[in-house]
Structure 1
Amino acid sequence: MVFLSPWPLGAIFPRDMFLIYVGVSLLLLSWAVRIVAEGELRLARCPVVPCLLLLALLAWFQTISFSPETLGLLSGNTARVYDEFLPSRPEVLPFDVERMPPAYPAGSTISFYPGATQREAVGWLAVFLLFLGVRHVLNSPDHLRRLSLAATINASLLAFFGLVHYFSAETSYAYWSIETDSNIVFGPFVNRSHYAFYQNLCTGLALGWTLQRLARGEAKEGGEGSPRRESGRRHRRKSSFFSLVLQDPAFVWMGLALVLIFAATIFCQSRGGTIAFLSGFGMVVLLSRTGSFDWKALALFAGIVVASTLMLLWFGFEPVLNRLNTLWEGDALNPRTEIWGVSLPAFWSHPVWGTGYGTFYFIERMNRVLGTYRGRVAEHAHNEYIEAMVEGGLIRLVLTLLLIGFLFWLGVKALRRQRGSVHQGLVLGAIFAVTTAAVHSIGEFGIHMPSIAVLLTVIGAMLAGTVGWPMVAKTKRQEIVTPRNDFTLRWGGIAPTLAAVVLVALGLFLSYEGWRLARYDALRRRAEVLEGGEHLRERLDLMTEAARLVPESSKIHLQLGRELIGAGAALARQKDVDQQLYINLSLEGLRRILLARDLCPLLVDSQVSIAEYRGLLQEGDPASDYVERAKRLLPADSRTWFTFGFQALQAGDEEETWRCFRRSLEISGDSQKRILELSKGRLSSEAILEKVLPENPQLIFSAGRSIHPGPKGRDARGPYVERALELLEERDGELTEAELFLKGNLLEERERYEEARVVYQRAVIKRPTKHDWRYRYAEVLFELGDYRKAVREAEIILVARPRDKRVKSFLEKASRRLAETK
């Protein structure tokens, strides 16, 4: 399970989650057999266990249906949100058709989307049971040593595959042929940061294995009566360490693996992964300064870093440096800080219980403001601690921090106890892994990847169990056994039997939930592939079956409802069609859409759909009310505001159209092309500038070039260029580097080359790594006849981009002109 889970894109698909759940179930089955065989239930005293249990129970609590009065007492703001986005009176369908009852009564749960929270609760239950199973079944040093070896082999294969894939495939494709929405694929992971997250965990395990093997080698050489023991401690420190490292083939292979893993982790250009690794290194240094470890770990780290740096120089260090330079230039946390900024108001509104596990996507969009991460979709907070605050309130945040704190406390406690033991290195490696995860989670959502969650849970469980390990001294061949501190329950044989039954039942429940979601996903995907009217019946059957399997999913009911209404409308356009069939399809579709809204009132598409089909309802709020709810749910979604504007245009309300189009462009330029196409035939350039385009110089400039492209349109787009320049010159003293570059473009457009040269020079000085900007600067120098400086700028670009044909051609042209002037 640990070995295979990262390869299918990090196990992000439900079918992979089903296999993980089956693996957890088998682990629970083995524990149940062991309990029955021993005739007693033995539970370790571990403070991490109640934290995980409470995190899972909190998710289940958020799906409980409460009366309006009770919900108002528990979370008044949650009740107010329901009042805002649910109608005061339920809608009534014609012909006395009954509404479909939702799996969770509308507006009765703490979670705004209890279906998503239920899936998250099952995931947390799986994590809790996996931790519990590993803690009680796989809790010996040998188990951690074998895990470390397996993780090292797997990480080496991942690193090798990632490098080969990087140099032979586009970064938007996984396995050379699977197209993804990401442009930062590395190895089998869709996101390079998740690759680095996983590899840092493996690096810690590999380091622990290496240090333990070193300690075991010293124990063999330093036993009673050995010549090396009699020669004294100083002689051993000078010769034993280096001789063991150089003469043992296992050390050589492990060293090569660590170098490859670390080099690939840095080369994937994950800034968070690099910081997390350095944090793990800092933890090792801290523990060595407190006397919990010696200098050998630092020597190993130093050797790995030096060898990996040499490998990176061979691969090409320039992309890595350019990426890391953004840490100092202020771009590293964008747009993360903007996401965090719009997330905090949701926490202040729901500080105790949160908004529900799995609801961050909806809450973030509802709180988003203009100017933040234009055009991006934030499914997660890119900060596990902030996401915990939003979705679970202070309760989840405190439990999360306690969980991490207890893991470190147990690890350091075990490390101090194992000082001078052969197992000390394994403990340190596990602490290193947990440190990287805790740090990387500040800027990434890696633990939402099932493969990472599985490995981190297993490491955490084994680290928590290290406190009870026996101490095997390196200098004396003796074992000091730690007294067990476990709960032991027999109850005349009832306790082990009952525990075994509960474990098997939980395993079956997990397996069923995994199968249910995997089957649902397969049906939904098959329905999406089928297109055309000839497959309509089959598509509807597949979607109906998917909705039956997962009745708590709001999205499948919405999708099915729209499909049914569309099928009814298509039938209505045909001749000699049974009108009753059309009515039945339309009403069934509307029932599904209303059900989708009841399951998740924050699902904006359901509100828009109800407004669109309001005429089919016998009673309900006006269509405008549903539209206003949708606008409040997505105050900063460009495409949705374009849709509102397009609907207003079809209704003949042009003033509302231009207002919605302007709002869409204020948010982002995603719909700019379509907006300009609809506007330029109806409005003059002056009217477009006044009514449609916001005061955004970049957008105004690009709009002018889109409406009047090419050299022939230079004069026609003059008003757009002048307006953009006016806006920039109004705040010339506070222009950013990007705005300076834009101003240079505008001045160059108006053939004011001398002014453009000055502005470009300021932009390049501020951002010397922006080679495209430097190229434009060189072109302006060429136009002004300063060929010497133009040649120098082109040469600077070619140092970083030696294969850039455009720059090479420009350098040849500028060099010829320079030679002619001489």
Structure 2
Amino acid sequence: MASIERFSFYSLLALILWLPIPLGSNRDWAWSIAEFWIAFQSILLIIAYRGNLPFEPLKQYIWLLSGLALFQLWVLFQSLPLPWEVLAFFSGKSAEIYQLVGAPEGFISLDSRMTLASLFKGIAYTMLVFNAIYLVNSSKRLKQVVLVIVISGTLQAFYAAMVVLLDIKESLVFGYSEIGIATGSFVYKNHLANYLMMTLCMGIGLIVSQLHTSPSESRHMFVKRLMEGILSRKMYIRLCLVIMVIALVMTRSRMGNTAFFAATAIGGLLALVFYKNKPRALTILVGSVIAVDTIVVGALFGLEKVKQRLVETSLGAESRDQVVVWSLDIIRDFPFTGTGMASFYTIFPMYSKADIGFYDHAHNDYIQFMVEAGIPATLLLGLVILLAFARAFHTIRKRHSRTMKGIALGCIMSIIGMLIHISVDFNLQPMANALTFILILFIANACSALPALGQLVSIPPKSNQADGLKEPEHV
């Protein structure tokens, strides 16, 4: 049974690598693969525990699980056929629209089939967190998950940069046209930029977790630590960060680069002020990421073009701001119930006041979630994110473990970057980005919940024999 549990954990690592490969898992066939993958993983986990899953580990993640589960229950309710009286009570506007077209029954959702598809995705998101609670049950495994996230971002960055530098005109697998802008295996450049922003932040956290907190007592000790650092895994991770920054700049994503810069600056400032027993090299690391990576490396690989796009940005030339403004009218008509998850492209043409082209997303996830899920459900998800941020912040202030504090700092940066980036784009719509972000929210909670010594929280019999999980708490 222990071997099944380990296989389930490695399947989780493989899933992290797989998610961005099939077009960011943003096609129905691609996200269906991920849904079956997670379902199979859940079945294996139940078998590994012989059907006796302990509930003790769930207590530390109750807010994350409850928030996601309650949201999925609401999406389920949106997709159910309701009697006209009940529908009129919850959403008079939806009842009016269905009766206007002579429908035999009505739903809160104005596109119940797409809402049902969204429900299946949401269940997969919730089940992934449930699986991770039991599988990522030690500091060693937590580091492995973060390392695989960084590796996945590096592979995406390397592939995206090579396609641009080699002037490849079509993507190697799906035959999409390439126009000299890094997209990786994603279709949309901003989705790659968002994915790289998250993986970069987690990479920074991983490096911070390996920095020394005690001062060098002599010049000999300083040189020794310097050489050890150059020859250690930190340099591999540092090289990964450079590769990812190059690809991030090559996406020409204005807000993607801005979000990463802001997340690094704000997260670094929070660390310098609140980090418990902060490493002496933390200031140098944050400064080098901002100065060396963003400015020097970025200048060599196209940062000037990103700056030019920012300067040339004009509300008069952009139509996305009009989409946001007109979407406010939808929120006004459906403030509490929303129009149904994944229904934006259905309802928006009714509120469009000019021919600005086809928009299947609001290019602002705050607005789109309020349109589709309603204000209360959106606030519920916001609370889940804020609580994860609070737990990560508590970790860097109170815990002694270098591993937990460093990874928690990476989570803080990722959350800040995501909250900035989704204000101008729909980065929570592709499954690769959404699942990775949800996994980061789990990691933020795990940094506070997992034991300091890295022992397993709850495992099948004898499953801790092969892992050798011993990581001393560093002070």
TM over 0.5: yes
**Structure 1 residue 402 displacement after superposition:** 0.7
Report the residue type matching 1:320 in the other structure: V
Report the residue type matching 2:63 in the other structure: P
The 5 A counterparts of 1:330-409 are 330=315, 334-370=318-354, 374=356, 376-409=357-390
Which residue of structure 1 lines up, in the alignment, with residue 282 of structure 2?
297
Contact 1:35 1:41 in 2 (8 A): no
**Alignment CA distance shift 1:244-1:280 (3 Å):** farther
**Alignment CA distance shift 1:241-1:400 (3 Å):** farther
Which residue of structure 2 lines up, in the alignment, with residue 633 of structure 1?
none
Return the match for 2:253 from 246, 262, 270: 270
Return the match for 2:136 from 135, 138, 163: 138
Give SS of 2:56's match.
strand
Matched, 1:324 2:340: no
Matched, 1:16 2:30: yes
> Which whole-Å CA distance do the structure 2 matches of 1:369 and 1:181 have between them?
33
**Structure 1 residue 403 displacement after superposition:** 1.3
> Which whole-Å CA distance do the structure 2 matches of 1:361 and 1:183 have between them?
29
Deviations 1:462-517 (Å, cap 9, x if unpaired)? 2212212233xxxxxxx5999x8x9xxxxxxxxxxxxxxxxxxxxxxxxxxxxxxx
The 5 A counterparts of 1:633-672 are none
Which residue of structure 2 lines up, in the alignment, with residue 205 of structure 1?
202
> Which whole-Å CA distance do the structure 1 matches of 2:393 and 2:42 have between them?
29
> Which whole-Å CA distance do the structure 2 matches of 1:187 and 1:39 have between them?
39
Instruction: Tell me the TM-score normalised to structure 2 length.
Output: 0.84
Contact 2:206 2:406 in 1 (8 A): yes
Return the match for 2:211 from 214, 234, 245: 214
Contact 1:24 1:126 in 2 (8 A): yes
Which residue of structure 2 lines up, in the alignment, with residue 81 of structure 1?
97
> Which whole-Å CA distance do the structure 1 matches of 2:342 and 2:297 have between them?
41
Q: Which entry has the higher C-alpha Rg, 1 or 2?
A: 1
> Which whole-Å CA distance do the structure 2 matches of 1:50 and 1:39 have between them?
18
Deviations 1:406-465 (Å, cap 9, x if unpaired)? 111121122223246343212211222222222211111112111112222222222212
Contact 2:111 2:340 in 1 (8 A): yes
> Which whole-Å CA distance do the structure 2 matches of 1:446 and 1:181 have between them?
21
Return the match for 1:189 from 186, 189, 199: 186
Report the residue type matching 1:449 in the other structure: P
Which residue of structure 1 lines up, in the alignment, with residue 470 of structure 2?
none
Q: Using the aligned pairs only, state the percent identity.
A: 21
**Alignment CA distance shift 1:237-1:407 (3 Å):** farther
> Which whole-Å CA distance do the structure 2 matches of 1:42 and 1:181 have between them?
50
Which residue of structure 2 lines up, in the alignment, with residue 60 of structure 1?
76
> Which whole-Å CA distance do the structure 2 matches of 1:43 and 1:155 have between them?
29
Deviations 1:602-661 (Å, cap 9, x if unpaired)? xxxxxxxxxxxxxxxxxxxxxxxxxxxxxxxxxxxxxxxxxxxxxxxxxxxxxxxxxxxx
> Which whole-Å CA distance do the structure 2 matches of 1:66 and 1:182 have between them?
48
The 5 A counterparts of 1:178-577 are 178-179=175-176, 186-215=183-212, 231=217, 242-246=226-230, 248-281=231-264, 282-292=266-276, 293-294=278-279, 296-308=281-293, 309-326=295-312, 330=315, 334-370=318-354, 374=356, 376-419=357-400, 421-471=402-452, 479=453
Instruction: Tell me the TM-score normalised to structure 1 length.
Output: 0.50
**Structure 1 residue 62 displacement after superposition:** 0.7
**Alignment CA distance shift 1:269-1:237 (3 Å):** farther
Which residue of structure 1 lines up, in the alignment, with residue 146 of structure 2?
148
> Which whole-Å CA distance do the structure 2 matches of 1:141 and 1:463 have between them?
12
**Structure 1 residue 264 displacement after superposition:** 1.5
Report the residue type matching 1:280 in the other structure: A
Calculate the aligned-residue CA RMSD, in Å.
3.0
**Alignment CA distance shift 1:393-1:414 (3 Å):** same
**Alignment CA distance shift 1:241-1:197 (3 Å):** farther
**Alignment CA distance shift 1:250-1:184 (3 Å):** closer
Contact 2:246 2:301 in 1 (8 A): no
> Which whole-Å CA distance do the structure 2 matches of 1:188 and 1:127 have between them?
21
The 5 A counterparts of 1:628-707 are none
> Which whole-Å CA distance do the structure 2 matches of 1:209 and 1:181 have between them?
33
Report the residue type matching 2:358 in the other structure: V
> Which whole-Å CA distance do the structure 2 matches of 1:326 and 1:261 have between them?
25
**Structure 1 residue 263 displacement after superposition:** 2.1
